[in-house]
Amino acid sequence: EPEWVKTEREQFVEFRDKNRDGKMDKEETKDWILPSDYDHAEAEARHLVYESDQDKDGKLTRQEIVDKSDLFVGSQATDFGEALVRHDE
């Protein structure tokens, strides 16, 4: 079997099937899709900085944002670009 199948099988056994019954019930599926300890906004913000910060200084300049504007316009963190339209600097 492919390596990704082996990895998914291990993830299932170790993390997803919490009651060890060999299948995912409603609560296990909910925890997998929407984990309670996962901050979606923070993850998206980290992704935007990681992908856009060309000099890797941990800060974004206006030019870095402009250079990756397609990334920001498609981001949920900016309401798919709406936050960029409302900005009045």
Q: Give the list of residues 6+ apart from residue 23 with CB closer than 8 angstroms, or none.
A: 17
Q: With cut-offs at 50, 70 and 90, classify the pLDDT of residue 2.
A: very high
**Amino acid in the structure at residue 55:** D
DSSP 58: S
21-63 pLDDT, tens digit per residue, is 999 999 999 988 888 888 878 888 899 999 999 999 999 999 9
Tell me which residue of 87, 77, 52 sits closest to 66, measured CA to CA.
Answer: 52
Please report the pLDDT score of residue 82 as a whole number. Answer: 59
Average pLDDT taken over every residue of the chain: 86
Residue 88, pLDDT > 80, answer no
CB 20 within 8 A of CB 12: no
